[in-house]
Structure 1
Amino acid sequence: MLLLLILLPVAFLLPPGAGAGEIVGGWESKPHSRPYMAFLRVQRKNRTTLCGGFLVADNVVLTAAHCRGNNITVTLGAHNIKRREPSQQVIPVVQQLAHEEYDNRTLKNDIMLLELEGNAVTNRAVAIIDLPSADQRVQPGTLCTVAGWGNLRPGGALLPDTLREVDVVVMPDAACPRNPDWLYRGYDPATMMCVGDPTRFYDSAKGDSGGPLVCGGTAQGIVSWGPTKAPGVYTKISAFLPWINDTMRRLQAGAGL
């Protein structure tokens, strides 16, 4: 199963179990203004799909667990993904470390660390983004940003050449009501964030799942799932800090996970 995120004003992430892909709205990012962004090519059997991610250590990218595949290649330092820019660093993934309690039906614990084959060279175009502290909470009404290379038309296959972004607002948990018979039945406020004001018609959607929700320079969420209209659901990074830190410590110690 794959949910592909995009930025768009109308279409949005499909519910768990659906397919995905588009950016209809937002604007082109200033080249390399988001140097933490990672472009993921995910190989699954005989097809290739796309996801987003972000650099959190010299050799580690954070993304969504539903972006798992047989093989993943990460491109860092990209603005135009259809060109071989001198700034780009293409690095294979050697380990996909999804959360042990990830549920591909409900998308709970939708978080994964990718160990790269080698260290990225950090520079103007490639940089690590800060993560929140375990007790940090983003208040409803906070304006944040998501970015990606997703489709430009709802249901279409028009991919942008360049990174695009859009501002989104964090909503109260009540905006993603936990109704067992409705769209947000799997929403868990302890580990998820409700993002995107439906009256403003801007939010993330299909095309680059796994990309970061950035608030004040810190990655607070990971694009995960949602209905065809905002708000959508993001993995709450602060809830997973103990898991992230423990997994990264073992990685850096060469524990052979």
Structure 2
Amino acid sequence: MMRPTVRAMIGTLALIAATAALPLIGSSRAFADGVVIGGKPVGVKDSPWVVALASKERFGSGRSGQFCGGAVVSRKAVVTAAHCLSRQVLGVDRNEVRDLTVVAGRGDLSSSGGSEVGVSRTWVNPDYDEVTNAGDVAVLTLERSLPADSVISLAVAGDSAYRAGTAASVYGWGDTTGSGAYASSLRAAAVHVLDDAVCENAYPGSVDGTYSKAAMVCAGESRGGRDACQGDSGGPLVAQGRLVGLVSWGSGCGEPGMPGVYTRIAAVADLVTRQR
């Protein structure tokens, strides 16, 4: 069965989260030999702008309570996917989550390294469309500043990093197989930015969503095998040293002909800048 379109851990079963990681609502066979899907371990010191969104209250203490990813875009702001803060994912309204935290500088979520920073304010794009998945972006304002070298720059309109064929990397702690095997250590998968026509053909409009090149960017490998998966939502897609996308949605994990779809940062950069 195809997994859900979004790539976050789902929190509607949060009552059992205190003792175990939440299961997938749905899953599919993944064509993978590693993690993220087809990825490898990476050091958090080499990618300090990658952070985990966490709530131990909603998702248990294992893996630091991680349920989504994010990227540091200013010393006191993290950008993530809007759907990560939805009731579908959290199981409650986001304002009812009392311990929403950003975990920074901690590559191994089973450790106590790095820091856990509280969130003082959440902003979710009011134009986020849950049907098409367009505008899937949110900004978290932190209670205290992160180091300046944690900040990654945003891609803007016309950025060369969006050219088809550009090498990119997607980061996260999500499902490593497509079957609910969540990583404890940060992983990255090498992918390529794909021509918009690839995703337009794959996702012309269905219950999964509708690909829009104005709002989204397509990345993966034509043969499959490298992709984001459940638990990676909101995590960064980075090309040429810039944040070009956020893990948003897709069908399956790493399947041929079904590449990952990411929020196009250039399309929401002005919105993000106003909030950070």
Q: What TM bracket, shorter-length normalisation?
A: 0.7 to 0.9
| Matched position secondary structure for 2:272 | helix
**1:130 corresponds to which of 153, 162, 167:** 153
Maintained 8 Å contact 2:135/2:263: yes
Structure 1 residues 76 and 105, CA, compared in 2 at 3 Å: closer, same or farther? same
Unaligned runs of 5+ in 1: 7-17, 249-257
The one-letter amino acid of 1:241's match is A
| Deviation for aligned residue 1:159 | 2.7
| Deviation for aligned residue 1:177 | 2.0
Name the counterpart of 2:135.
109
| Matched position secondary structure for 2:191 | strand
| Deviation for aligned residue 1:174 | 0.8
Equivalent pairs counted in the alignment come to 231
Aligned equivalents of 2:82 and 2:120: distance in 1? 15
Aligned equivalents of 1:65 and 1:20: distance in 2? 22
Indicate whether 1:209 and 2:233 are aligned. Answer: yes
Correspondences of 1:39-188 after superposition (within 5 Å): 39-42=52-55, 50-68=67-85, 69=94, 70-71=96-97, 72-85=100-113, 88-122=114-148, 127-137=150-160, 138-156=162-180, 158-177=181-200, 182=206, 186-188=210-212
**1:37 corresponds to which of 41, 50, 55:** 50
Maintained 8 Å contact 2:79/2:137: yes
In terms of fraction of residues, the more helix-rich structure is 2
Maintained 8 Å contact 2:37/2:227: no
| Matched position secondary structure for 2:243 | strand
Structure 1 residues 131 and 121, CA, compared in 2 at 3 Å: closer, same or farther? same
The one-letter amino acid of 1:60's match is A
Aligned equivalents of 2:209 and 2:44: distance in 1? 39
Residues 164-219 of structure 1 deviation map (CA, whole Å, 9 limit, x = unaligned): 11100111111012665657751111010111123142122222200111001100
Maintained 8 Å contact 2:165/2:193: yes
Aligned equivalents of 1:65 and 1:183: distance in 2? 18
Residues 66-115 of structure 1 deviation map (CA, whole Å, 9 limit, x = unaligned): 01034321010111110111xx1111112111111012232210001100
The one-letter amino acid of 1:154's match is G
Equivalent pairs: percent with the same residue?
31
| Deviation for aligned residue 1:46 | 8.0
Structure 1 residues 151 and 135, CA, compared in 2 at 3 Å: closer, same or farther? same
Maintained 8 Å contact 2:5/2:209: no
Alignment TM-score, normalising by the size of structure 2:
0.75
Structure 1 residues 200 and 113, CA, compared in 2 at 3 Å: closer, same or farther? same
| Matched position secondary structure for 2:229 | strand
**2:7 corresponds to which of 1, 4, 7:** 4
| Deviation for aligned residue 1:23 | 3.2
Maintained 8 Å contact 2:121/2:140: yes
Structure 1 residues 209 and 181, CA, compared in 2 at 3 Å: closer, same or farther? closer
Aligned equivalents of 1:232 and 1:39: distance in 2? 20
The one-letter amino acid of 1:116's match is L
Name the counterpart of 1:254.
none
Residues 145-168 of structure 1 deviation map (CA, whole Å, 9 limit, x = unaligned): 011111233222x33231111100
Aligned equivalents of 1:159 and 1:35: distance in 2? 21
| Matched position secondary structure for 1:177 | helix
Unaligned runs of 5+ in 2: 10-24, 29-34, 86-93
Cα-Cα RMSD: 2.7
Structure 1 residues 146 and 181, CA, compared in 2 at 3 Å: closer, same or farther? closer
In terms of fraction of residues, the more strand-rich structure is 1
| Matched position secondary structure for 1:84 | coil
| Matched position secondary structure for 2:45 | coil
| Deviation for aligned residue 1:43 | 7.0
Aligned equivalents of 1:28 and 1:109: distance in 2? 30
Aligned equivalents of 2:106 and 2:69: distance in 1? 12
